[in-house]
């Protein structure tokens, strides 16, 4: 997928061009619209190898790179980007890691690997703006990291989408409906894969569901999905099967909150 939009950035003399890389379509679409809310020119790519090629061929100011990418993960993509830029005697593109791994250790690992910054999912518009401004040398205060509930995060996500300019008003319910459809499909896939004791299919479905949940702010659903994935990786299939029903219940709770927020 490749999508772009443009406007005049807040507190910037000219348009800042962002390349956002995330294999999850919901996460990528949200990044696109959050960037657009701030007035940046946003291009979204779902394939990390293609994104590296595009970054070297085009004139972007900054890359937002998800870590959990298939085939070429975020760390490998960053290493390739830096290596190819050095070979071409070019200044490497600044890269912000965008990830659900939000601990101090995760941040340190990213910075040690060469990322310019670390941004935790679910991405808040204020945190996105402040992080981009820090990386590009503009003034920006650290984002507020006060603890909030999943309900607060989900409502805030829908509220941010509702602030999109009039021409994009249909986007907020579209994201809610897209998450409802895709997440239901992923849970069905998880149920089938766990019953078949298929570790590979379980991991793919769990990773996709967790990524979408993290980006929306449904941290409990993301945590439960990660626990299910760990059980499957350890071949604890009985324990994994017992987690399907609670996962479905939490999924329904998330959908209820999302649709209630979208109807306000």
The 10s digit of each residue's pLDDT in 205-214 is: 898 888 778 7
Q: How confident is the prediction for the chain on average, in pLDDT?
A: 80
The token duo for 230 is 């760990």
Region 171-263: CATH code: 1.20.120
- 171-263 has the same fold as 2-145: no
Mean pLDDT of 167-186: 69
- What does the alpha-carbon distance between residue 94 and residue 91 come to, in Å, rounded to a whole number? 9
> What is residue 186's three-state secondary structure?
helix
How many helices (H) and strands (E) are present in the chain, helices listed first? 11, 6
Spatial strand order in the sheet of 41-45: 2-5, 41-45, 17-21, 62-66, 95-99, 117-120
257 φ/ψ angles, rounded to the nearest 5 degrees: -65, -40
Q: Are 170 and 252 in contact (CB under 8 A)?
A: no
Give me the pLDDT at residue 90, please.
83
Q: Please name the CATH architecture into which domain 2-145 falls.
A: 3-Layer(aba) Sandwich (3.40)
What does the block give as tokens for 126? 């204020």
Domain boundaries, the chain: 2-145, 171-263
Q: For residue 261, is pLDDT > 80?
A: no
Whether the predicted pLDDT of 146 surpasses 70: no
Per-residue model confidence (pLDDT) at position 122: 78
Residues 203, 232 contacting (CB under 8 angstroms): yes
Question: How far apart are the C-alpha atoms of 264 and 258, rounded to whole Å?
Answer: 10
């Amino acid at each position: 997928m490749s999508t772009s939009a443009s406007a005049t950035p807040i507190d910037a003399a000219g348009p800042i061009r962002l390349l956002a890389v995330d294999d999850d379509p919901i996460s990528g679409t949200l990044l696109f619209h959050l960037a657009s809310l701030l007035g940046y020119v946003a291009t979204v790519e779902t394939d990390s190898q293609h994104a590296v090629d595009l970054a070297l061929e085009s004139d972007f100011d900054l890359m937002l790179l998800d870590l959990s990418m298939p085939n070429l993960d975020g760390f490998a993509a960053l290493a390739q980007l830096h290596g190819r830029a050095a070979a071409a005697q070019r200044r490497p593109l600044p890269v912000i890691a965008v990830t659900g791994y939000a601990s101090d250790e995760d941040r340190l690992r990213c910075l040690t690997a060469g990322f310019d910054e670390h941004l935790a999912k679910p991405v808040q518009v204020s945190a996105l703006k402040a992080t981009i401004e820090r990386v590009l040398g503009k003034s920006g205060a650290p984002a507020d990291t006060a603890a909030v509930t999943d309900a607060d995060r989900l409502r805030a996500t829908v509220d941010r989408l509702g602030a999109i300019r009039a021409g994009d008003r249909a986007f907020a319910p579209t994201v809610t409906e897209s998450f409802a459809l895709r997440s239901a499909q992923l849970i069905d896939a998880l149920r089938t894969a766990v019953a078949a004791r298929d570790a590979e299919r379980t991991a793919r479905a769990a990773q996709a569901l967790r990524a979408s949940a993290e980006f929306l702010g449904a941290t409990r659903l993301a945590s439960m999905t990660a626990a299910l994935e760990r059980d499957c990786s350890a071949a604890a299939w009985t324990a994994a099967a017992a987690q399907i029903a609670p996962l479905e219940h939490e999924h329904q709770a998330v959908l209820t909150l999302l649709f209630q927020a979208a109807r306000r």
